[in-house]
Amino acid sequence: MALASRTRFFRTCLGSRIWTCQRGMTSSPIPSMPACDFQPETYKGMEMDKVKQVRSDNLNPALFTYYKKPLLVHQGHMQWLYDVDGTRYLDLFGGIVTVSVGHCHPTVRKRAEDQLGKLWHTTNIYLHSTIHEYAEKLTSTLPGNLKVCYFTNSGSEANDMAVLMARMYTGNYDIISLRNCYHGASPYLMGLTALNTWRYNVPSGFGMHQTMNPDPYRGPWGGANCRDSPCQVQRSCDCAEGQCEAGDRYVDQLEDVLRFSMPKGKVGAFFAESIQGVGGTVQFPKNFLKQAFERVRAHGGLCISDEVQTGFGRTGTHFWGFEGHDVVPDIVTMAKGMGNGFPLAAVVTTPEIASSMGRALHFNTYGGNPLSCAVGSSVLDVIEEEGIQNNAHVVGSFFLQELGKLRDEFEIVGDVRGKGLMIGVEMVQDKTTKTPLPVEDVNGIWEDMKDMGVLIGKGGVYSTVLRIKPPMCLTMEDAKFAVAVFRRALENHSAK
């Protein structure tokens, strides 16, 4: 019997009783999927073989597909996805950190349907109320003088725009980012991104520089008191309470880049995610970002926060990830959860910086159209009315603590990190050397979890970090189920 079929059989027949695995070892209780009364519609689309043929013949050949037996997804409801056979999966990846308040959230869906009946699109050369209402509502969530919006359709577009804006305003060409970062894969941003899996062998990134990634787990400095997370690095730390020597040392590395790689010490901008997403949920030492912003500004540069993954309450304690670092950026870029899966992104900056873009015409045909702004406005309403940010904090903290217990129990779970519902689990061969677990082993655990009904992502430079960034409507019961599934997958791996 196939694993997926066996799992469904045991769920149906045995509930959560103990069972014996293939080698005769007693394993943990079979996870019971939380109840859901939603019933998906009957699928009436293409057969799987036809889908695979079209994907092979007519779609971008660089597209990669998750899982040996790919999912043909049919319908979504809040934190759940359904395939064409009606099988339900707990979505812990949220369309790559994009579904913020839930698949097909009824409030957001109704607002979109209402707007569809009035006005889908018109050029912003004309006035329409939705863009103005949304701009006012969105900027009210940001601190300081971050009051001017440039609406785009994707995070890459937003980051492209932020680079141009910084260069125009400062008159300085050079931009600094962090190693292990991801800010987009467009030709303009390929040099800003510092993950080799996203780099083509073509000239790119003129004027882009990277400094050492301030990673308390894999970097040379950092320890048990350095991260703003319920889960800390499992190595000693000499830092006093409220201080972080590791952050100081990584800032010194940034200072070296400013001193040696910039023309006469001048820099256009410094780009940073609040928590690195594609790079594997890497968190920086406390106070690193604050000191980095101070150094960059002292050299004439702007500070740009990429909130594409960490914005809109995902980190739990704050609406924007940068607020957890006690900084106020000069430019903020955002996307993904902003539209709950609808193509919507933005650059938000100060009036002074925005004015530099008046030297030529700038226009985005679809950015800020009536439909996208209606959706974005509704997402903000749901986050506030349903306490989504607090839910991310409460459920996410519990989730991290429970995953931390698995790290303490299993040798191959090297690190658990994150904040709110921005979580990463790094897999290793052993905790001492931190040698990455072979990708085929990581994939086996990942596939096993899918077969038991849980979908997660992967990331990091070695593709060995399990990425957990679900819709923020996730419940405690969902988190318990996911942890139980992960435990079972780890036990299955150990039994091989």
Rounded CA separation 414/427 (Å): 5
The tens digit of pLDDT for each residue in 54-65 reads 999 999 988 889
Rounded CA separation 115/128 (Å): 12
Instruction: For the chain, give every residue range classified as CATH 3.40.640.10.
Output: 107-385
Residue 102 has pLDDT above 70, yes or no: yes
Asked if residues 96 and 104 have their Cβ atoms less than 8 Å apart, the reply is: no
* CA-based torsion, 255, 261, 266, 269: positive or negative: negative
Residue 17 has pLDDT above 70, yes or no: no
In this prediction, residue 23 carries a pLDDT of 39
Q: What b/e string do you get for 240-263 counting C-beta neighbours within 10 Å, with b at 16 or more?
A: eeeebbbbebbbebbbebbeeebe
Secondary structure of 2-27 in HEC code, one letter for each residue: CHHHHHHHHHHHHCCCCCECCCCCEC
User: 6-15, 173-182, 269-278, 373-382: lowest mean pLDDT where?
Assistant: 6-15
The tens digit of pLDDT for each residue in 25-41 reads 457 777 789 999 999 99
Query: For residue 446, what are the CA distances in angstroms to 57, 62, 413, 427?
Result: 28, 22, 13, 11
* Neighbour-count burial of 273, counting CB atoms closer than 10 A to its CB (0-12 exposed, 13-18 middle, 19+ buried): buried
In this prediction, residue 26 carries a pLDDT of 56
Structure tokens at 82: 């359904």
Q: How confident is the model at residue 14 (pLDDT cuts 50, 70, 90)?
A: very low
Instruction: For the chain, give every residue range classified as CATH 3.90.1150.10.
Output: 3-97+388-494
Predicted TM-score of the model (pTM): 0.93
The mean predicted confidence, pLDDT, of the chain is 92
Determine which helix (DSSP H) or strand (DSSP E) holds 46, and give its type and residue range: none
The tens digit of pLDDT for each residue in 417-440 reads 999 999 999 999 999 999 999 999
The tens digit of pLDDT for each residue in 254-307 reads 999 999 999 988 999 999 999 999 999 999 999 999 999 999 999 999 999 999
Structure tokens at 144: 């300081």
What lies within 8 Å, CB to CB, of 9 at 6+ separation is 1
Strand 345-349 relative to strand 302-306: parallel, antiparallel, unpaired?
Answer: unpaired
Range 453-473 average pLDDT: 97
Whose CA is closest to 94, among 81, 112, 111, 84? 81
Domain spanning 3-97+388-494: which superfamily? Aspartate Aminotransferase, domain 1 (3.90.1150.10)
Q: How confident is the model at residue 19 (pLDDT cuts 50, 70, 90)?
A: very low
Percent helix, strand and coil across the chain, each rounded to 5?
A: 40, 15, 45
Topology adopted by domain 107-385: Aspartate Aminotransferase; domain 2 (3.40.640)
Structure tokens at 95: 């369309």
Rounded CA separation 168/304 (Å): 14
User: 9-18, 332-341, 389-398: lowest mean pLDDT where?
Assistant: 9-18
* Neighbour-count burial of 432, counting CB atoms closer than 10 A to its CB (0-12 exposed, 13-18 middle, 19+ buried): exposed
Concatenate the DSSP letters of all residues of 452-481 into one string: TTEE-EEESTTS-EEEE---TT--HHHHHH
Concatenate the DSSP letters of all residues of 123-134 into one string: -TTS--HHHHHH
| Beta bridge pairs of residue 77 | 80
Helix 476-494 with 439-451: angle, nearest 10 deg: 130
The tens digit of pLDDT for each residue in 104-155 reads 999 999 999 999 999 999 988 899 999 999 999 999 999 999 999 999 999 9
